[in-house]
Amino acid sequence: MKDHKRYYIISCWLVCQATLCCAQEPDSTSVLDKVTVTGAGKRNSFSGSVPSQTLDRRTLNQLNVLSVGDAAKYFSGVLVKDYGGAGGLKTVSVRSLGASHTGVLYDGIPVSDVQTGQTDLGRYSSNFIQSLDIYQANGTRLPATARSFASASLLSMVSKSFQPSTAAREWFAGLRQGSFGFWQPYAGLSLPAGKQVSVQLNTEFTRSKGNYPLYIENGPLSYAAKRINSGLDSWQGEANVLKVFNDSSTLQVKLFNYASGRGLPGSIALYTQRSNQRLRNDDQFMQARYRKDDHKGLSILIAGKYNYSFTRYTDPDFQNNAGGLDNRYRQREFYFSAAVSKTLGWFTASVASDIEYNTLRSNTANFAFPKRTSLWNNAAVVFNKGLWEITGSTLLTTIMDQTRTGATSADRNKITPSLSVAFRPGSNSPFLLRTFYKEVYRMPTFNDLYYILVGNSNLRPEFARQYNAGAVYSKQSDGAIRSLQFSVDGYVNSIRDKIVAVPGQNLFVWTMLNLGKVNMKGVDLTAEINGKLAKSVTWFARIAYTWQQATDRTDKTAASYGDRIPYTPDHSGSGLLSFTWKRWNAGSSVLFSSSRYS
């Protein structure tokens, strides 16, 4: 195993923010229907019974990150696996549980990939996000989709358009340029489109040659070179329509498209780095979300989604009778969710039911053509009175697979509970104590079960347990330090039946087995400070730090027993400091990590 050195990434910026609004119509008098509009202020992430963190639009601008995957690196407890620069796969593992245990929401609706079980956050531009939130265990607002209770943690993206505001016309545009032929123009437009209807259009194009320099060490024959076949062209576009009805209920419809083509650089052998492998992705989805909250404490949420994903991998140099590889995969997803909650005094009760149907097709020989029907049914209760907040939920997960050829995984049913408790020592106390416990049940992916030669249809789902205890300090004032917020949480996690790849018939043919058991422990620390230097000069600082240890507990007789899990550093974190004067903003951010094993 290799011990990589710690690394630091520091960025600085100096920007001027401005908003251009179109001219308003001349003043006139009219009678309008009564409409209740809720604002979109920054969520207080230091007040919940479960740990959560937020990066709002202002902070995202200050970080100047390219994608949601880059922004997630600034959360404590989060490890982003970045597989190579612009356009590279970016997955999020929270508290060392693995990317497959992290749920992703876009405007409250799940984002998924049943083929691999991992969501590539590099495909989602930070330019179009109003806020990015991460929750341990469950989200904090009811009603919510049942599937959002099925993951160990939740990463929630909220788009700019998902605000009930239809009055303003705005547009923005920008251009980023970087090393190795990197160019990224982007633009967005928001405008009214009728009575209480707003439309937003966003687009972004990325091009990168990726021809970074490298040095090949080979004694007296060492030489400098540049990476080849690592270029990228990608385009992301989305359209959002938001309708606010007279009863203050909202309907949001989103159309999303991502298309990319990239080269896949190969290894260097015999002084040659020839590679003609190419990867193409085309992803589109359409989703709709309706929510209604009435004054009697009743809330209704209805959501639906259709997703289509196409992947094509080509390798003309592969030696076979067909003259190379041309593998194509098509994945379709149909999703529907309905949830309702009712608040009666100190109690809020909610029930939710989700159904999802997935198919995967391919042109490869002996492919299984799997289909999956997934059902999630959840019941949740929140008690909130005075100094106490208690939340409990019970989730029933049902998974049913079908295949055209080969063996099929058995049907699965599992009930998983969760419980969180928060206590404030006094009504005006700045301190909050909290704890939670949750069980998580993760079904193997299509690749785990049915990938040719490697898949194993007899795999059992992974089962995880989470324990957390922490404390929060939150204080507001009118002095030079306007707010000070601090949280520290300790946790212990464990995974049973972890799915790992092991050699099968020989070192060239591997298979998937339930051989793994991993224990994790750690501490997450997050602090935010807002201050004021003068009447028009403010400053903001944010620190996130994580200490964690994830160790192999599979086999006491194995040489690897007790070893660290690869790519998991013991220490990691981030820092941000910014100053604002009128519309000018300047600051610096830093990412750091200790050594890790690979």
Q: What's the farthest any 2 CA atoms get from each other in the chain?
A: 85
Domain membership of residue 511 (yes or no) is yes
| 3-state secondary structure at position 433 | strand
The answer to whether residue 534 scores a pLDDT higher than 70 is yes
| 3-state secondary structure at position 61 | helix
Percent of the chain with pLDDT strictly greater than 70 = 89
What is the per-residue pLDDT for 509? Answer: 60
Closest CA to 423 of 389, 465, 458, 461: 389
Closest CA to 332 of 302, 354, 368, 362: 362
Task: Output DSSP code: residue 74.
Answer: G
- Residue carrying structure tokens 């009214």: 192
Domain membership of residue 395 (yes or no) is yes
Q: What is the CATH number of the domain that holds 236?
A: 2.40.170.20
Other beta carbons within 10 Å of 319:
8
- In angstroms, the CA 155 to CA 134 distance is 4
What is the per-residue pLDDT for 539? Answer: 93
What is the per-residue pLDDT for 2? Answer: 45
Domain membership of residue 291 (yes or no) is yes
Give the pair of three-digit tokens for residue 96: 């060392």
- In angstroms, the CA 175 to CA 167 distance is 27
Burial class (CB in 10 A: 0-12, 13-18, 19+), 59: buried
pLDDT confidence bin for 274, thresholds 50/70/90: confident
Secondary structure in 3-state letters for 88-130: CCEEEEECCCCHHHEEEEECCEEECCCCCCCCCHHHCEHHHEE
Q: Tell me the mean pLDDT in the region 495-499.
A: 90
Strands (E), 209-324: 213-216, 223-226, 232-244, 250-263, 278-293, 298-315
Note down the domain range covering 379.
3-19+52-267+276-597
What is the per-residue pLDDT for 83? Answer: 73
pLDDT confidence bin for 30, thresholds 50/70/90: very low
Asked whether the beta carbons of 436 and 409 are under 8 A apart, the reply is no
Report whether the peptide linkage leading into residue 143 is cis, meaning its omega lies within 30 degrees of zero: yes
- The answer for 407, left when phi > 0, alpha when psi is -120 to 50, beta otherwise, is beta
- Residue 280's identity, in one-letter code, is R
Percent of the chain with pLDDT strictly greater than 90 = 58
The tally of domains found in the chain comes to: 1
Domain membership of residue 548 (yes or no) is yes
pLDDT confidence bin for 42, thresholds 50/70/90: low
What is the per-residue pLDDT for 174? Answer: 93
Domain membership of residue 40 (yes or no) is no
Domain membership of residue 38 (yes or no) is no
Domain membership of residue 32 (yes or no) is no
Chain mean pLDDT for the chain:
87
Domain membership of residue 94 (yes or no) is yes
